[in-house]
C-alpha cells in the first residue's frame, strides 16, 4: 500500500516541460466582432465560485501529491525595492531545492527532481538569476515594460524586453496599458501586445492584465481575448502591487476566455494568478478550478503558474505535517 501511494504521488508530481520549451501562441488577427460579443453573467460567476469549495476536496496522500504539483507550477518571485544580488541568489537556491530533502524522502518523492516553474525578478537581476540557475532547466522570468504601472514611453518598454531577453530571460512578464481597456481601444491594446510579443523573440510572453484596475469582469474577458489574439503565451491576473489582486471570480472569467480561444483557434494559452495566494489551501482551490475548467493538461507548468513569494513556505509546512502529524514553526521553512 505504501509503495502504491508513492507511485501515485510521483505520477501526479512528475515534472513536464517548462513554458520555455512549450509551443508558442502565434496569435491571430484582431476580431472585433468576437470581442464585442463578449458577455459576463456576474451572478453566474459568483454562484460557480461559491460552490467550488464543496464540490471537490483532496486529502491525505492525494493532497500531498497536489501540493507537490503546485510547487512545480510556482514562479518564485522577489520584486521588492530592497532586493539585492544575495536575495536573488538565495531565492534561486530555494528554487533548485524547494522542499527539504528529509520531507521528500519521507514522501517517497526524492526521485522527482522537484523544482519550481521559474524564478521571477526585475531586469537588473536577470544575469544574477541566470548564473545562479546554471545547470538547471528553471527559466528566469523578468518583469518588464515599466512594471508595475506600464506607463513608460513605448520605445523604452520594447527596449526593456529586448535587453532582458539578451541578458538570458526566457520568459517576460509585461504589463498592459490599462487605459486602452478602460476606453475600449482594442486596436491599441492589440498593437501594443503584438509589439511586445515580437520583441520577446524566442522568450515566452506573459501579459499582466492588472484585473483589479479594469473595472468590470466584461473588461477582463475582453482584455484576455485581445492579448491572446496578439500572441500572449500566458495571461496573468495581477502585478501583486494592486489593491485587489487574484480572485477566484476574475480567474474563472480568464479561464473561460482561454477555453474559448482554444476552441476557436486550437492554440494553448497559459494562466497565471498572482498576488494574495499565500496558503496551501488557496493553491489547492486554484488547482481544482483549473482542472474543472480546462482539464489536466493545464495542470502543468508550461500552462499554469502561481505568482508567489510566500506560498512555498506554507506548502512545505503542510507537507511536513502530512509526514509527521505535527505543524512546525514557519522559521523552519525560510524562503531566502
State the pTM of this model.
0.91
pLDDT bin (cut points 50, 70, 90) of residue 110 is confident
- The x, y and z cell numbers of residue 67, run together, are 501540493
Strands 204-208 and 171-175: parallel
Residue 103: the pLDDT is 93
Q: What percent of the chain has pLDDT over 70?
A: 92
- What average pLDDT does this structure show over 185-193? 98
For residue 183, pLDDT over 50 is answered with yes
- The x, y and z cell numbers of residue 72, run together, are 512545480
For residue 293, pLDDT over 80 is answered with yes
- What average pLDDT does this structure show over 268-292? 94
CATH code where residue 242 lies: 3.20.20.70
SS3 category, 66: helix
Positions marked active-site: 173, 236, 272
Task: Please give the sequence-ordered ranges of beta strands (E in DSSP) within the chain, or none if there are none.
Answer: 74-77, 118-121, 140-143, 171-175, 204-208, 234-236, 270-272, 306-308
pLDDT bin (cut points 50, 70, 90) of residue 335 is low
For residue 136, pLDDT over 50 is answered with yes
- Write the CB contacts of 215 (distance below 8 Å, at least 6 apart in sequence): 181, 182
Distance between CA 17 and CA 142 in Å, rounded?
19
Question: Nearest-5° angle of CA 21, CA 22, CA 25?
Answer: 135
Could you list the residue range(s) of the whole structural domain that residue 247 is in? 2-332
Residue 221 CB-half CA count within 13 A: 20
Total number of domains in the chain: 1
Amino acid at each position: 500500500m505504501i509503495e502504491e501511494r508513492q507511485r501515485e504521488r510521483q505520477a501526479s508530481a512528475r515534472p513536464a516541460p517548462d513554458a520555455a520549451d512549450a509551443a508558442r501562441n502565434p496569435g491571430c488577427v484582431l476580431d472585433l466582432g468576437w470581442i464585442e460579443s463578449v458577455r459576463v453573467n456576474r451572478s453566474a460567476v459568483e454562484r460557480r465560485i461559491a460552490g467550488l469549495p464543496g464540490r471537490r476536496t483532496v486529502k491525505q496522500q492525494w493532497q500531498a501529491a497536489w501540493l507537490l504539483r503546485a510547487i512545480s507550477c510556482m514562479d518564485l518571485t522577489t520584486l521588492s525595492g530592497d532586493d539585492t544580488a544575495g536575495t536573488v541568489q538565495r531565492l534561486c537556491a530555494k528554487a533548485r531545492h524547494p522542499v527539504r530533502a528529509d520531507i521528500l524522502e519521507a514522501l517517497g518523492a526524492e526521485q522527482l527532481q522537484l523544482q519550481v516553474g521559474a524564478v521571477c525578478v526585475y531586469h537588473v537581476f536577470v544575469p544574477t538569476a541566470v548564473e545562479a540557475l546554471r545547470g538547471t532547466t528553471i527559466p528566469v522570468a523578468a518583469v518588464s515594460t515599466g512594471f508595475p504601472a506600464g506607463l513608460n514611453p513605448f520605445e523604452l518598454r520594447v527596449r526593456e524586453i529586448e535587453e532582458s531577453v539578451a541578458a538570458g530571460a526566457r520568459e517576460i512578464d509585461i504589463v498592459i496599458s490599462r487605459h486602452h481597456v478602460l476606453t475600449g481601444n482594442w486596436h491599441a491594446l492589440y498593437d501594443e501586445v503584438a509589439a511586445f510579443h515580437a520583441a520577446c523573440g524566442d522568450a515566452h510572453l506573459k501579459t499582466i492584465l492588472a484585473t483589479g484596475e479594469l473595472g468590470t469582469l466584461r473588461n477582463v474577458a475582453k482584455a484576455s481575448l485581445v492579448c491572446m489574439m496578439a500572441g500572449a503565451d500566458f495571461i496573468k491576473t495581477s502585478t501583486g502591487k494592486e489593491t485587489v489582486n487574484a480572485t477566484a471570480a476574475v480567474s474563472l472569467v480568464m479561464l473561460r476566455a482561454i477555453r474559448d480561444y482554444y476552441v476557436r483557434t486550437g492554440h494553448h494559452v497559459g494562466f497565471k494568478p498572482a498576488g494574495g495566494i499565500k496558503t496551501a489551501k488557496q493553491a489547492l482551490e486554484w488547482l481544482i478550478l483549473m482542472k474543472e475548467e480546462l482539464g489536466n493538461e493545464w495542470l502543468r507548468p508550461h500552462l499554469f503558474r502561481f505568482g508567489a513569494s510566500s506560498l512555498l513556505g506554507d506548502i512545505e509546512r503542510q507537507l511536513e505535517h502530512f509526514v509527521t502529524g505535527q505543524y512546525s514553526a514557519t522559521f523552519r521553512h525560510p524562503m531566502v
